[in-house]
Amino acid sequence: MKRTLLATALTLCSAGLMANSFQNETNLDYRWGDILNAELKNYGLTHQFYLSPVSTANNMPLAEAGFLSRSSSILVGYDYAQFDFGGLGESSLSAWSVGGEYRDVNHNFYASLLWTEFNNTRDRAIATSLGYYVDPTWLVTLDIEHLRPDSEGSVTQYGVSTKKLMTLGNGDFMSVEASYMDLAETSLGRFGVAADYYFGQNVSLGLAYDWTTKGLFDPEADAFTVRGNWYVLPNLALKAGVTFDSVDTGDDLYHVGATFRF
């Protein structure tokens, strides 16, 4: 039985060595750290199905294949978080998500939607974006978030974001991102900047900085993230990261995960 399972796994992974396209991408993620005097363990599973094959050719970064392909997709996800308060006991929270992205090689317009429902509660979060490809490697979007905390009414907040993938002269690449969200019913805005350096197609190392502030500087809270991604095979990636003093929790959060394409 064990030999059969191992042989099947090797066959699936090896198939990606000959393939230059995929239509399915599955992500497994595990995050842990401290939050609200509790030990957090968070498990995430998402699956994205592309309506047309996504190519990984032209020596571009494998991690950016979906961004560059202009292929529309649908996505489903599940998250489970466990909180351990020590002698005070444990609690948990889970949520389902469904959404997708619309884009096409025949035009430069972009749209996305992600709808999240939290189990055993009326909490809901809806995130949508409308955007435009300024060029094939540069996307700018208007972002809208509608949040409905349980028994606390609802709020809608607006922001903008952008992403640019640059080809460097030495055959490497760099992805640069920036975002702003006006936090509803507060005087705060949330900013974010990030850059990932791609050492060829397979390996990347990135830094991100997020902060909330009443202006642009003098942050009320901020966080640094260091992250990396490695495609050990064309269809299998390993990833890891750490966020120092998370804006949302005030504590360090750690992350490991894997991506499989077929």
- Specify the CATH number for the domain of residue 180: 2.40.160.40
Per-residue confidence (pLDDT) for residue 213, from 0 to 100: 84
Whole-angstrom distance between the N-terminal and C-terminal Cα of the chain? Answer: 24
Per-residue confidence (pLDDT) for residue 15, from 0 to 100: 42
CA dihedral (32, 50, 113, 211) in degrees, to 10, reads 40
Question: Which residues is 258 bridged to in the sheet?
Answer: 28, 238
User: 10 Å Cβ neighbour count for 64?
Assistant: 19
In which element (H, E) is residue 65 found? Answer: helix 65-69
Residue type, 101: E
Query: Residue 132 pLDDT > 50, yes or no?
Result: yes
pLDDT-derived band at 122 (thresholds 50, 70, 90) equals confident
pLDDT-derived band at 75 (thresholds 50, 70, 90) equals very high
Instruction: Find the domain containing 211 and state its range.
Output: 2-261
Q: Which residues contact 55 (CB under 8 A, 6 or more apart)?
A: 20, 21, 65, 69
pTM of the model: 0.86
Domains held by the chain: number: 1
206/148 Cα distance (integer angstroms): 32
32/80 Cα distance (integer angstroms): 12
